[in-house]
């Protein structure tokens, strides 16, 4: 089980949270201008990386607020958590190059 | 299939028993990869080996290599809970899984290998009014597709599973029964297909990881592997857990995310449970293997991961309801617990598809329940690779459905757990 730092509440047990998938996917400005391919890409196609993953979580059994997590999907190590309005953290190679 | 001298039979068993079983032939060769093949299959699990077998057996393509990064059946083929059923809601799924079911029914004979397919019956429990409505809708849809399914009462469930607790926190209102459902021995499926394919001339190359694709003018020409380049006119990727990684090597994305899925088995006990009991509502799946272990499948974790480890809370959420339903199991010790990586699409249906790269085909995204489809998946995929156009049963499972919107939504249909 993961210990997750909510940017508002501090470290809490994973059972208080829900994972909500890849972060930083921006809704297209004008969906009506998109063709099927672009709309499908936006809705369904994901990076699904083996390694560093930027993702959204929600503190559903806590403050109910959304935030972002950087996690290594090979080790499940959480590298950073940050609020939606905060800039995307830049991680050094050392930080992201977690042992497998 | 097998040459007479190599075929397993009562006579070969007697002959070899006289030699204290020391002279059995190897089940398959261990060849060096050739420079070129007509078809290279990436992934030596059940689906990949089945694809190779049907390519050689039915499509007349014997110049085939199966490249596997580990050992045969060492991925999700060896990690699943071995359940076979075809009680799906949508017509497209029903056609695919029932196609597989029909192949299962003759598979041991076809492969000359005992895959221990046991149609012991499969109960899907309903715990609420909503569950009853769901099995009502799905059961009738299955019936209209000509697939066996029966509604049974709580009393009939009790007759099948006398020690079940009907009046518990998850009361049983009824169940959907597929009598033709059951289990098969997962390793034997991989080994049986491998042996039969090898017999037809397919090269099975283990410890050979694909590290890239050779693509010229948007057409695949071969694969780069840890054992060198292998040329191919056509490449079929049949991997579980890492299809997004392979797709990235080929330069495109898939509508897939990968999650941990866990299972556990108990210490072996005398026969007590002679059918499969599943409950989608509470993520509890249980059956008893021929060794006597209770095989329990859990739900998947909510976050993506390639760690092959899931959270302990998921096990708790599975074991808790199982003990509510079957208090008799409360003293059993669990022997093993493990996790695998499952590639899940948004609609919980697989991808059997062409890709943006010519002559490169993908068969993946089977999510939490691909084992049951192994023969059918390999069969339709082999015919699709052979002709270059997707087999009619495979056609609706194109990647393109995520652009057109023609999803096959087994997730919302709740026929499967996830």
pLDDT one-digit tens code per residue, B358-408: 999 999 999 999 999 999 999 999 999 999 999 999 999 999 999 999 999
Using the predicted structure, report yes or no on whether residue B50 has a pLDDT greater than 60: yes
- Rounded to a whole number of angstroms, the distance from the CA of A35 to the nearest CA of chain B is 9
Question: Whose structure tokens read 């699943």?
Answer: B80
- The partner residue sitting opposite B306, judged by closest CB among A1, A21, A73, is A73
Kindly report the backbone phi and psi dihedral angles of residue B398, in degrees, each rounded to the nearest multiple of 5, phi listed first: -65, 150
User: Between helices B46-58 and B186-199, what is the axis angle to 10°?
Assistant: 30
Could you report the per-residue pLDDT of A43-94, keeping only the tens digit for each?
Answer: 999 999 999 999 999 999 999 999 999 999 999 999 999 999 999 998 887 7
CA distance B126 to B107: 32
| Cβ-based neighbours of B34, under 8 Å, separated by 6 or more | B65, B203, B230
Give the three-state DSSP class for A10: strand
Decide: residue A64, CB within 10 A, 0-12 exposed, 13-18 middle, 19+ buried. exposed
Confidence of residue B416 (pLDDT cuts 50, 70, 90): very low
Tell me what pLDDT residue A32 has.
Answer: 95
A61 in contact with chain B, both atoms CB, cutoff 8 A: no
User: Between helices B46-58 and B374-387, what is the axis angle to 10°?
Assistant: 50
Token code pair at residue B344? 């899940």
Average pLDDT, chain B: 94
Confidence of residue A95 (pLDDT cuts 50, 70, 90): confident
Using the predicted structure, report yes or no on whether residue B310 has a pLDDT greater than 60: yes
Give the residue-averaged pLDDT of B320-339.
Answer: 95
Confidence of residue B413 (pLDDT cuts 50, 70, 90): low
Query: A1, B312: Cβ pair inside 8 Å?
Result: yes
Could you report the per-residue pLDDT of B87-115, keeping only the tens digit for each?
Answer: 999 999 999 999 999 999 999 999 999 99
A98 in contact with chain B, both atoms CB, cutoff 8 A: no
Size of interface A-B (CB pairs under 8 A): 72
Confidence of residue A98 (pLDDT cuts 50, 70, 90): low
Tell me what pLDDT residue B210 has.
Answer: 98
Tell me what pLDDT residue B418 has.
Answer: 40
| Cβ-based neighbours of B230, under 8 Å, separated by 6 or more | B33, B34, B35, B36, B37, B40, B65, B67, B222, B223
Average pLDDT, chain A: 93
Give the residue-averaged pLDDT of A5-33.
Answer: 96
| Cβ-based neighbours of B196, under 8 Å, separated by 6 or more | B1, B2, B53, B57, B110, B111, B112, B113
Q: Closest chain B residue to A39 measured between Cα atoms?
A: B403
Give the residue-averaged pLDDT of B121-132.
Answer: 95
Q: Are strands B256-266 and B334-345 parallel, antiparallel or unpaired?
A: antiparallel
Query: B309, A76: Cβ pair inside 8 Å?
Result: yes
Closest CA to B235 of B26, B66, B409, B74: B66
Could you report the per-residue pLDDT of B188-247, keeping only the tens digit for each?
Answer: 999 999 999 999 999 999 999 999 999 999 999 999 999 999 999 999 999 999 999 999
> How far, in Å, are A5, A74, B8, B344, B367 from residue A99 at the CA level?
21, 9, 47, 26, 27
- Rounded to a whole number of angstroms, the distance from the CA of B418 to the nearest CA of chain A is 14
- Rounded to a whole number of angstroms, the distance from the CA of A1 to the nearest CA of chain B is 5
Give the three-state DSSP class for B152: strand
DSSP code at position A73: T
Token code pair at residue B234? 């056509």
Give the ipTM: 0.93
Tell me what pLDDT residue B415 has.
Answer: 43
Question: Whose structure tokens read 């959304």?
Answer: A66
Tell me what pLDDT residue B1 has.
Answer: 47
CA distance B336 to B315: 12
Query: B307, A49: Cβ pair inside 8 Å?
Result: no
Query: A39, B403: Cβ pair inside 8 Å?
Result: yes
CA distance B305 to A53: 9
- Rounded to a whole number of angstroms, the distance from the CA of A86 to the nearest CA of chain B is 22
Tell me what pLDDT residue B3 has.
Answer: 55
- The partner residue sitting opposite A46, judged by closest CB among B242, B256, B313, is B256
Confidence of residue B282 (pLDDT cuts 50, 70, 90): confident
Token code pair at residue B136? 């009502």
Query: B402, A44: Cβ pair inside 8 Å?
Result: yes
B308 in contact with chain A, both atoms CB, cutoff 8 A: no
Could you report the per-residue pLDDT of A56-69, keeping only the tens digit for each?
Answer: 999 999 999 999 99
Token code pair at residue A11? 């470290």
- The partner residue sitting opposite B304, judged by closest CB among A36, A44, A48, is A48
Closest CA to B248 of B264, B232, B259, B237: B237
- The partner residue sitting opposite A1, judged by closest CB among B313, B346, B403, is B313
B274 in contact with chain A, both atoms CB, cutoff 8 A: no
**Number of other residues whose CB lies within 10 A of the CB of residue A100:** 10
Confidence of residue B134 (pLDDT cuts 50, 70, 90): very high
Q: How many helices (H) and strands (E) does chain B have?
A: 12, 18
Within 8 A of A39 by CB-CB distance, chain B residues are 403
Half-sphere exposure of B9 (CA within 13 A, CB side): 9
Tell me what pLDDT residue A100 has.
Answer: 45
Tell me what pLDDT residue B412 has.
Answer: 67
Question: Whose structure tokens read 């958590």?
Answer: A81
Using the predicted structure, report yes or no on whether residue B417 has a pLDDT greater than 90: no
Using the predicted structure, report yes or no on whether residue B410 has a pLDDT greater than 70: yes
- Rounded to a whole number of angstroms, the distance from the CA of B242 to the nearest CA of chain A is 9
Query: A47, B303: Cβ pair inside 8 Å?
Result: no
- Rounded to a whole number of angstroms, the distance from the CA of B80 to the nearest CA of chain A is 21
Scan residues 29-48 of A and list those with Cβ closer than 8 Å to B. 36-37, 39-41, 43-48
Complete domains list, chain A, with CATH = 3-24+47-96 (3.30.2270.10)
Query: B253, A45: Cβ pair inside 8 Å?
Result: yes
Using the predicted structure, report yes or no on whether residue B41 has a pLDDT greater than 80: yes
A66 in contact with chain B, both atoms CB, cutoff 8 A: no
Alpha-helical segments (H) within B112-216: 129-144, 154-160, 186-199
Tell me what pLDDT residue A97 has.
Answer: 64
Query: A1, B307: Cβ pair inside 8 Å?
Result: no
């Amino acid at each position: 089980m993961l210990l997750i730092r909510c940017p508002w509440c501090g470290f809490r047990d994973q059972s208080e949270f829900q994972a909500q998938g890849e972060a930083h996917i921006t809704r297209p400005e004008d969906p009506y201008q998109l063709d099927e391919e672009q709309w499908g890409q936006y809705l369904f196609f994901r990076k699904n990386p083996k390694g560093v993953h930027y993702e959204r979580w929600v503190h559903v059994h806590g403050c109910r607020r959304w935030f972002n997590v950087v996690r290594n999907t090979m080790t499940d190590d959480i590298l950073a958590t940050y609020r939606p309005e905060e800039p995307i953290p830049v991680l050094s190679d050392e930080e992201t190059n977690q042992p497998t | 299939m097998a040459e007479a001298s190599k075929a397993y039979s009562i006579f070969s068993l007697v002959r070899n028993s006289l030699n204290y079983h020391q002279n059995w032939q190897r089940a398959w060769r261990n060849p060096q990869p050739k420079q070129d093949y007509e078809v290279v299959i990436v992934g030596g699990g059940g689906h990949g080996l089945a694809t190779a077998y049907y390519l050689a057996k039915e499509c007349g393509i014997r110049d085939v290599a199966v490249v596997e990064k580990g050992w045969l059946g060492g991925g999700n083929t060896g990690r699943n809970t071995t359940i076979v059923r075809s009680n799906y809601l949508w017509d497209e799924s029903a056609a695919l899984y029932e196609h597989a079911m029909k192949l299962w029914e003759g598979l041991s004979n076809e492969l000359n290998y005992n895959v221990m397919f046991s149609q012991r019956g499969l109960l899907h429990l309903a715990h609420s009014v909503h569950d009853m409505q769901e099995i009502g809708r799905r059961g009738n849809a299955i019936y209209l597709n000509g697939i066996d399914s029966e509604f049974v009462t709580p009393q009939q469930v009790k007759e099948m599973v006398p020690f079940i607790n009907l009046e518990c926190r998850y009361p049983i209102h009824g169940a959907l029964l597929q009598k033709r459902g059951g289990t098969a021995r997962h390793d034997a499926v991989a080994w049986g297909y491998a042996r039969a394919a090898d017999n037809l001339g397919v090269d099975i190359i283990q410890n050979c990881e694909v590290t890239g694709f050779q693509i010229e003018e948007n057409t695949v020409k071969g694969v780069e592997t840890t054992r060198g380049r292998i040329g191919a006119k056509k490449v079929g990727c049949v991997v579980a857990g890492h299809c997004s990684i392979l797709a990235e090597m080929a330069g495109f994305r898939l509508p897939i995310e990968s999650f941990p899925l866990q299972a556990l088995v108990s210490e072996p006990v005398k026969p007590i449970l002679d059918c499969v009991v599943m409950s989608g509502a509470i993520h509890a799946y249980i059956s008893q293997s021929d060794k006597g272990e209770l095989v329990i499948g859990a739900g998947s974790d909510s976050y993506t991961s390639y760690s092959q480890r899931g959270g302990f809370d998921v096990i708790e959420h599975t074991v808790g309801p199982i003990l509510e339903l079957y208090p008799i199991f409360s003293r059993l010790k669990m022997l093993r617990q493990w996790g695998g990586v499952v590639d899940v699409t948004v609609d919980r249906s697989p991808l059997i598809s062409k890709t943006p790269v010519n002559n490169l085909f993908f068969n993946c995204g089977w999510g939490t329940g691909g084992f049951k489809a192994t023969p059918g998946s390999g069969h339709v995929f082999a015919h699709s690779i052979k002709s270059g156009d997707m087999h009619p049963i495979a056609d609706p499972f194109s990647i393109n459905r995520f652009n057109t919107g023609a999803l096959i939504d087994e997730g919302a249909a709740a026929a499967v757990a996830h």
